[in-house]
Amino acid sequence: MDLIRQQRAPICEALEKFRKKRVVPFDVPGHKRGRGNPELTKLLGQQCVGIDVNSMKPLDNLCNPVSVIAEAEDLMADAFGAAHAFLMVGGTTSAVQAMVLSVCAAGDKIILPRNVHKSVINALILCGAIPVYVKPKIHPVIGVALGMEADALLEAIKANPDAKAVLINNPTYYGICSDLVKLTKIAHEHGLKVLCDEAHGTQLYFADDLPIAGMKAGADMAAISMHKSGGSLTQSSVLLIGENMDQAHVRQIINLTQTTSASYLLLSSLDISRRNLALRGKESFAKVKEMSEYARNEINAIGDYYAYGKELIDGSSVYDFDVTKLCVFTKPIGLTGIEIYDLLRDEYDIQMEFGDLGTIMAYISIGDRMQDIERLASALSDIRRLYKRDKEDLAYVDAVTPKVVCSPQESFYAKKQSLPIHKTAGRVCGESVMCYPPGIPILSPGELITEDLIGMILYARDKGCSLQGMADPSADNIQVLEGVLGA
């Protein structure tokens, strides 16, 4: 990394230069630097709306960058150790989908774990690729899906020698990491591209003693959520590629779905955040690690809760663990994660990243403070004292690997009918059903609905999880393929 060059922020510099010129705007956006919408200006401030501008020659164009955006992408690639970087303003969803669409066409197979984010499934709907699921092991205590094992990948490749790519979560939402170097080596030896969903892995590129990052492990592509742990504005992300990817082709794929009116607020936030991480990231993430480990120890000292960490490492299904992920298993106090999530928000004014059926997660990043950690630990202790009850059997969304009957694309566009959920066992699902966050589908289009899955969906709904993806938001009905039985 060239630390001298990394002091630049070319998009931000161009915006500041443009602001000083006081150009008369006869272009979009129509609020004209905020003058046409004073309420918006009052909410966001003149500094913000004054640089909410459209693409123009001095500011470059994200669809075909040749000047300041091109330079910013080059600096981003240098900071992350990639051959090239694309600035993404459609969130990491757009980056993940661009990865899949860049290497898969209709009918192509892609190997992936079942606990992928919904953006991956949606990419398969868009391009018509066929998922080959590698079933992960489930941890016997905390109930979450673990990493992809080398033997499982090899078995999937042997059974599907025509597969084009493998997608790996690095890390998972819960901090679990696979042996990325070994998996990448196996995939490349068999001619497969390696795609890394690193939506929760920005810190891996700028910290010591954390699991290996995708680009360093030799992955071909990696999707990075800069806005999650890297400090940029919500919806701003990065797509990284290695030397063996066709940069022009990837740009064309991105431009199929990415806006032609990119927000310079998002682009400048990526530019500034990259500079901040390049110059101060190692120091910042060292503090994040310190806060996370402190929180883990404090929460475990309360009793009953289990804030898990590196003790999960077994060298196989949990090859490594990202200690910046503060996930707390809640079953021992008799409450689901979503119940504690609600209590923390409603009674203690603490907003967690997510609560699912067995876990809550606090997203610790460069903006957190130690006093906030203390407040969280104190609230959890209070909840245990006031609300603890006999523990019950809990279902876990991550533990599901449904049978794939037909492709996501075929199922999504097939003729469908809506049936009461309790009458759908044995039918093929025509839509996605997921708890969000984290956005891992319980059911995806083309998968067989079973009584167990119906029970899990209803249990999650009754416990207060936010169910998404269904035409019926109440989850009373599910869309199934008309006239198709999956059993």
Q: CA nearest 245: which of 120, 119, 127, 86? A: 86
* Cβ atoms of 28 and 264 closer than 8 Å: no
- Mean of pLDDT values over 277-297: 96
d(CA 105, CA 101): 7
**CA neighbours closer than 13 Å in the CB half-sphere of residue 461:** 19
Give the whole-angstrom CA distance, residue 229 versus residue 335.
28
Give me the residue spans of the domains in the chain.
Answer: 5-18+58-279, 281-387, 402-485
d(CA 68, CA 62): 10
Statement: residue 405 has pLDDT above 60: yes
Assigned CATH class of 281-387: alpha beta
**pLDDT category, 299, cuts 50, 70, 90?**
very high
- For the segment 178-218, what is each residue's pLDDT rounded down to a tens digit? 999 999 999 999 999 999 999 999 999 999 899 999 999 99
- Report the alpha-carbon distance of residue 461 to residue 481 in Å, rounded: 23
What integer is the mean pLDDT of 454-483? 89
Distance CA 446, CA 404 (A): 6
pLDDT at 315 over 50: yes
- Whether the per-residue pLDDT at 436 is higher than 90: the answer is no
Output the pLDDT for position 447: 93
Distance CA 27, CA 412 (A): 39
Q: In whole numbers, what is the pLDDT of the chain averaged over residues?
A: 93
Residues 49 and 107 sit within 8 Å (Cβ to Cβ) = no
Q: Does position 460 have pLDDT exceeding 90, yes or no?
A: no
Q: Which amino acid is at 413?
A: Y
Distance, CA of 114 to CA of 180 (rounded, Å): 17
CATH number for 5-18+58-279: choose from 3.40.50.2300, 3.40.640.10, 1.10.20.10, 3.40.50.720. Answer: 3.40.640.10
Architecture in CATH of 402-485: Alpha-Beta Complex (3.90)
What pLDDT is attached to residue 486? Answer: 66
User: Per-residue pLDDT tens for 157-182?
Assistant: 999 999 999 999 999 999 999 999 99
Instruction: Find all residues with CB under 8 Å of 230, minimum gap 6, and list them.
Output: 202, 203, 224, 273, 274, 277, 366
pLDDT at 184: 98
Instruction: Give me the pLDDT at residue 471, please.
Output: 92
CA-based angle 268:10:204, to the nearest 5? 65
Q: Burial level of 93, CB count in 10 A (0-12/13-18/19+)?
A: buried
Taking only the tens place, the pLDDT of each residue in 45-93 is 999 999 999 999 999 999 999 999 999 999 999 999 999 999 999 999 9
Q: How confident is the model at residue 428 (pLDDT cuts 50, 70, 90)?
A: very high
Instruction: Give the list of residues 6+ apart from residue 483 with CB closer than 8 angstroms, or none.
Output: 415
Measured in whole angstroms, the distance separating CA 264 from the mean position of its chain's CA atoms is 23
Selection from 416, 355, 414 nearest residue 380 by Cα? 355
Confidence of residue 310 (pLDDT cuts 50, 70, 90): very high
394 vs 236, more confident: 236
Q: Is the pLDDT confidence value at 487 over 80?
A: no
Band of residue 135 on the pLDDT scale cut at 50, 70, 90:
confident
Q: Does the structure show a pLDDT above 90 at 473?
A: no
pLDDT above 80: residue 397: no
Strand partners, 339: none
Looking at the chain, the whole-number percentage of residues with pLDDT higher than 90 is: 82
DSSP 212: P
pLDDT at 236 over 50: yes
Return the closest-CA partner of residue 95 out of 179, 184, 201, 207.
201
Average pLDDT (2-16) is: 95
65-78 residue pLDDT tens: 999 999 999 999 99
What's the CA gap between 165 and 184, in Å, rounded?
10
**pLDDT surpasses 70 at 394:** no
Distance, CA of 435 to CA of 205 (rounded, Å): 29
SS3 for 206? coil
HSE (side-chain half, CA atoms, 13 Å) at 122: 18
For residue 449, what are the CA distances in angstroms to 440, 472, 480? Answer: 16, 16, 9
For tokens 């991480």, what's the residue?
277
SS3 assignment for 55-116: CEHHHECCCCCCCHHHHHHHHHHHHHCCCEEEEECCHHHHHHHHHHHHHCCCCCEEEEECCC
Q: Within 10 A of 257 (CB to CB), how many other CB atoms are there? A: 14
Residue 81 has a pLDDT of 98
Paired residues of 479 in beta bridges:
418
Q: Is the model's pLDDT at 156 over the cut of 50? A: yes
Q: Are 420 and 477 in contact (CB under 8 A)?
A: yes
Q: Which two tokens stand for residue 461?
A: 């709904």
